């Protein structure tokens, strides 16, 4: 008759599998999947569709935002439970600056991580850059660009595309487009 010793590899493997399955069943569907805060309708004052923001925000209890920057450069950092999870940027560049210059030169996008490229925006794994078409032509001729960056994890390309297009459209009617001084 064969006996399984306590020190045998079969006992260790069986125990490891049992513990792993128990932990996996405990972690699915927990409160980590719950969003106890309301999704904001703006990024530091720039109107934004809650449906476009929701996929970019994690579960958590408390959301806050902080704006920084100066004339020509505005950053909004969104935090959930004290951790920055999303950043948006609105910035003005000299006339004739292109979307490619900004996306690849300044924000480090590469052809390897670009998922979608259109005339007015480029979407990568965790960052999207948009070129704003200002409805009121700027007197100084400056070009206006937007950036949305998910700070942790990844997001579906369609969700990032919706976020950058909605944000860029909102900026097209904002003071960033109508102010004449750079």
Domain count, the chain: 1
Rounded to whole angstroms, the Cα distance separating 11 from 2 reads 14
Question: Is 92 within the bounds of a domain?
Answer: yes
The reply to whether 28 falls in a domain is no
Tell me whether residue 136 is in a domain. Answer: yes
What pTM does this model have?
0.78
Residue 43 inside a domain? The answer is: yes
pLDDT, one tens digit for every residue, the chain (182 residues): 444 444 444 444 444 444 343 333 333 333 447 899 999 999 999 999 999 999 999 999 999 999 998 878 999 999 999 999 999 999 999 999 999 999 998 888 888 889 999 999 999 989 999 999 987 777 788 899 999 999 988 889 999 999 999 999 999 988 888 765 44
Whether residue 7 is contained in a domain is answered as no
Q: Which of 97, 101, 100, 169 is nearest to 132 (CA)?
A: 169
Where in the sequence is the domain holding 45, given as residue range(s)? 35-178
170-173, long-range: CB < 8 A, 24+ apart: 170/46, 170/47, 170/48, 171/46, 171/90, 171/130, 171/132, 171/144, 171/146, 172/132, 172/133, 172/134, 172/135, 173/135
């Amino acid at each position: 008759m064969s006996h399984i010793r306590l020190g045998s590899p079969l006992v260790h493997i069986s125990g490891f599998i049992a513990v792993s399955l128990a932990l996996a069943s405990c972690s699915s569907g927990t409160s980590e999947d719950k969003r106890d805060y309301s999704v904001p309708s703006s990024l530091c004052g720039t109107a934004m569709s809650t449906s476009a923001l929701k996929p970019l925000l994690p579960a958590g209890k408390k959301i806050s935002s902080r704006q920084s920057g100066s004339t020509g450069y505005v950053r909004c950092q969104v935090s959930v439970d004290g951790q920055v999870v999303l950043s948006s940027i609105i910035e003005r560049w000299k006339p004739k600056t292109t979307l490619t210059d900004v996306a690849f030169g300044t924000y480090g996008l590469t052809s390897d991580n670009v998922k979608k490229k259109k005339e007015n925006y480029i979407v990568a794994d965790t960052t999207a850059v948009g070129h704003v078409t200002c409805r009121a032509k700027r007197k100084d001729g400056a070009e206006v660009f937007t950036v949305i960056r998910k700070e942790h994890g990844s997001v579906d390309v369609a969700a990032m595309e919706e976020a950058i297009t909605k944000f860029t459209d909102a900026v097209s009617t904002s003071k960033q487009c109508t102010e004449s001084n750079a």
